Amino acid sequence: MIIVNGQQKSEISVKDRGLLYGDGIFETIKVKGAMPKLWHMHLDRLVHSCNALKIAVPNLKHLQNDVDQVIKETGPNLVLKIIVTRGIGNRGYIYTGNEQPTVIVMSSPEYVTNERDYLNGVKAIFCETRLSHNTNLAGLKHLNRLEQVIARAEWQDPQIREGVLLDNDELVIEGTMSNLFIEKDGVLYTPKLDKSGVSGVVRRKVIETQEAAKAPVCIKNITKNELLCADSIAISNSLMGVIPLSQIGDKVFSISPLIKEIVSRNLHDCN
């Protein structure tokens, strides 16, 4: 089911700036038992992303109604995608600030991760594609996703579940569709996202939970070599929660008790 600006329909204008320029943001949300998981964190990020791009924040009550309706019509378990674009404007890159945002709420079938993957971890590769630096866009889940499209096209093997992306400075940033955590000597690290990358809601959840447990995640620049020297690695996103990486390229990683704990906690929180 798809709702566009409160109406059940599946198309938008070709003059929408979301299409013309990727001028918009999105959220991908796991719905289980009719509950959108980490809902307030997704809403927070949606509002933050709109504000960062100076896109009018949609009416959140109406958005909630749209989400409720999609869940009611589709069933209790699904993937929910919310897109907010700047809407329709005049020709050219300039916007007036008076554009009416386009709000799209759509469902896809439930995304199921094999239980084995949480226990044994999954395989990844290093991508050749590099993430560019843009301090205006870093952290936002915006609609300019060609870098991820190009990176994801680097492998076809379904056994490879993620591609690790470095930036133009050869620093490790994230996966094509996930954030990264590494453990070294009992400390958890995750890459800084001040120049590239998407600030994921599960990443935020892990950071906040660790903070509350007085075992804070260290957010820093991480080199490829530091990643390869990690004791244990995990990736996170809203659909999987946290999942260990058992291998990147040829390098095999063990799954530490700390990573196991975080995987398990997020299975509970996010699933």
Nearest approach, Cβ of residue 121 and a second copy (Å): 20
* CA–CA separation, 142 and 18 (whole Å): 10
Q: Which is nearer to a second copy, 10 or 254 (CB)?
A: 10
Nearest approach, Cβ of residue 72 and a second copy (Å): 19
- For 46-73, the DSSP string reads HHHHHHHHTPPPP-HHHHHHHHHHHHHH
Q: Which is nearer to a second copy, 13 or 223 (CB)?
A: 13
Q: Which is nearer to a second copy, 83 or 233 (CB)?
A: 83
Q: Which is nearer to a second copy, 33 or 92 (CB)?
A: 92
Nearest approach, Cβ of residue 9 and a second copy (Å): 8
Nearest approach, Cβ of residue 134 and a second copy (Å): 5
Sign for the pseudo-dihedral over CA of 106, 271, 38, 152: negative
Binding site for a second copy (CB under 8 A): 2, 4, 10-23, 26, 53-54, 79, 83, 85-86, 91-95, 104, 106, 108, 111, 129-130, 132-137, 142-153, 168, 176-177
* CA–CA separation, 151 and 175 (whole Å): 9
Name the amino acid, one letter, at 43: L
Q: Which of 47, 111, 104 is nearest to 79 (CA)?
A: 111
Q: Which is nearer to a second copy, 61 or 93 (CB)?
A: 93
- Which DSSP letter does residue 43 get? H
User: Angle at CA 102, nearest 5°, toward 89 and 46?
Assistant: 120
Nearest approach, Cβ of residue 238 and a second copy (Å): 13
